[in-house]
Amino acid sequence: MPDDEAADPHYLFTVFTPTFNRATTIGRVHASLMRQTFTDFEWVIVDDGSTDDTAELVKGWSDSSWFPIRYLWQPNQGKHVAMNRGVELARGELFLTIDSDDECVPTALERLKHHWDEIPVGSRDGFAAVTALAMDQKGQLVGTRFPSQVFDATSIELAYRYKVRGDKWGFTRTAVLREHPFPAPPGTPMIPENLIWDEIALTYKTRFVNEFLLINWTRPQGSAIDRSKAAVHLARGLAQWNLYVLNTHLPWFRHDPVRFFLSAIRYTRFSLLDRQGPLQQLRSLANPGARLLWLATLPLGAAAFVVDRFRTRR
């Protein structure tokens, strides 16, 4: 639970950055915040166990920046744990996460406030967030646009009915995030963020706007071996996410059947990597449709698991 000071908003925005050994890139975030045209915000950084110069950098910025900065170091536990801590610490009404290798445009906070203010006051309790577009460092759209310039929907509806893809960026009401903390089971280094966004979408809408407000610095994909090593390391959280999709999203199957077949394959793949056998997988599936999909794709999921094991043992 948040402490009394954090529960009472002091700012409109808490800008939050989780970081781990990103001393060479987190300066992008700081520089872009220094250029903001809207000033009612704080910057909260939760350092998930960095061993580089991040702490020293932040200390220097704290002494020279015109906005308040709060920094917390914690032992490495994963971004989801850092997110929970950031939400606890937040003193802003609206919670805006920016990763430690990205940057936002100078008018980002001003425009996000504008779009929030455009939602009628009597309707705002039904909205959790405002989300905008991202571009890469070359100025190219990341993913696809929203169906219209201003579009109100849930994130689940946006994904399945309208098939909007790619990273997007915006804020969520801090109070809503406190209602929906990330699960943090021991030994799980990553919980996919969509698990929480989709839980929120069961109750709240988001206002989506076709406006570029984030510069998302993309990096080259690693080798096939590197990707398989990452799959092994993150298997538990990825299995949990695909199980959630199969158990809760199946009413959307007719809108995007391929996506559900892929989720079933990934559920088997990541579950096996996490040493969850077929019987355990079957017992976790909550409905006949999910079980049928899992059974139909079981050979493909098992094949993907074998490929990962082969690559990581070379």
Residue 52 three-state SS:
coil
pLDDT attached to residue 13: 98
Question: Residue 314 above 70 pLDDT?
Answer: no
**What is the per-residue pLDDT across 35-63, written as a single tens digit (0 to 9) for each?**
999 999 999 999 999 999 999 999 999 99
pTM of the model: 0.92
pLDDT over 90 percentage in the chain: 89
Q: Round to whole Å and give the CA distance between 67 and 126.
A: 31
Q: Is the pLDDT of residue 80 over 50?
A: yes
Buried b (16+ CB within 10 A) or exposed e, 250-287: bebbeeeeebbeebbbbbbbbbbbbebeeeebeebbee
Please give the DSSP secondary-structure letter assigned to residue 237.
H
CA distances (Å), origin 107, targets 35, 38, 69, 112, 127: 8, 7, 20, 9, 22
Cβ pair 86, 196 in contact under 8 A: no
Q: Are strands 127-136 and 205-216 parallel, antiparallel or unpaired?
A: parallel
Amino acid 303 reads A
Task: Give residue-wise pLDDT tens across range 251-309.
Answer: 999 999 999 999 999 999 999 999 999 999 999 999 999 999 999 999 999 999 999 99
Out of 56-60, 226-230, 231-235, 306-310, least confident range: 226-230
Nearest to 134 by CA among 158, 105, 109: 105
Question: 204-230: string of b/e by CB count within 10 Å (b at 16+)?
Answer: bbbbbbebbbbbbeeeeeeeeeeebee
Structural domains in the chain, sorted by start: 4-216 (3.90.550.10), 224-312 (no CATH)
More confident residue, 194 or 224: 194
**DSSP string computed for 149-178:** SEEEE-HHHHHHTS---S--EEEEEHHHHH
**What pLDDT does residue 55 have?**
97
Question: What is the rounded average pLDDT of the residues 86-111?
Answer: 98
pLDDT for position 185:
87
Query: Can you give the pLDDT at residue 5?
Result: 47
Angle at the Cα of 252 from the Cα atoms of 216 and 192, rounded to 5 degrees: 40
Predicted local distance difference test score (pLDDT) of residue 219: 75
Scanning the chain, the segments in alpha helix (DSSP H) are: 4-7, 26-34, 54-64, 79-89, 108-117, 155-160, 174-179, 194-201, 224-233, 235-248, 257-273, 278-284, 288-312
Q: Is the pLDDT of residue 160 over 70?
A: yes
Single out the residue of 222, 13, 177, 2 nearest to residue 83, CA to CA.
Answer: 177
Q: What is the mean pLDDT of residues 151-168?
A: 96
Q: How confident is the model at residue 2 (pLDDT cuts 50, 70, 90)?
A: very low
DSSP single-letter state for residue 100: T
Closest C-alpha among 99, 103, 104, 102 to residue 48: 99
Confidence grade of residue 114 (pLDDT, cut at 50, 70, 90): very high
pLDDT at 133 over 60: yes
- pLDDT range class, residue 226, cuts 50, 70, 90: confident
Mean pLDDT of the chain: 94
Under DSSP, the state recorded for 125 is G
Query: 173-215: per-residue pLDDT in tens?
Result: 999 999 999 998 888 888 999 999 999 999 999 999 999 999 9
For residues 67 and 41, is the Cβ–Cβ distance under 8 A?
yes
Q: What are the phi and psi torsion angles at 242 (to 5°)?
A: -70, -30
Is pLDDT at 6 greater than 60 in this prediction? no
Of 104, 79, 137, 99, nearest to 22 by C-alpha is 99
pLDDT in the model for residue 7: 56
